[in-house]
């Protein structure tokens, strides 16, 4: 019983996580940041300061 309950509980969590990812995917800017967090992150900070 427990084994059957675990996967079901995990599924909703994954769906919720996917929902967040979809939101980021909608924004090209966010997607670029996610792809190159190290490089884009530094550039983003500089651009924001300017």
pLDDT at 50: 47
pLDDT, residue 37, reads: 54
Distance CA 40, CA 45 (A): 8
Contact 22, 28 (CB under 8 A): no
Q: What is the pLDDT of residue 10?
A: 56
Judged by DSSP in three states, 3 sits in helix
The single-letter DSSP state of residue 50 is -
Q: Please report the beta strands in the chain, taking only residues with DSSP state E, as ranges in sequence order.
A: none
What is the DSSP-derived secondary structure letter of residue 36?
Answer: T
Q: For residue range 1-50, list pLDDT tens digits in order.
A: 455 556 555 555 555 666 556 655 556 665 555 555 555 555 555 555 54
């Amino acid at each position: 019983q427990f084994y059957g309950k675990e996967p079901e509980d995990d599924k909703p969590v994954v769906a919720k996580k996917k929902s967040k990812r979809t939101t980021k995917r909608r924004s090209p800017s966010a997607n670029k940041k996610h792809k190159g967090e190290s490089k884009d992150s530094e550039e983003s900070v500089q651009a924001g300061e300017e």
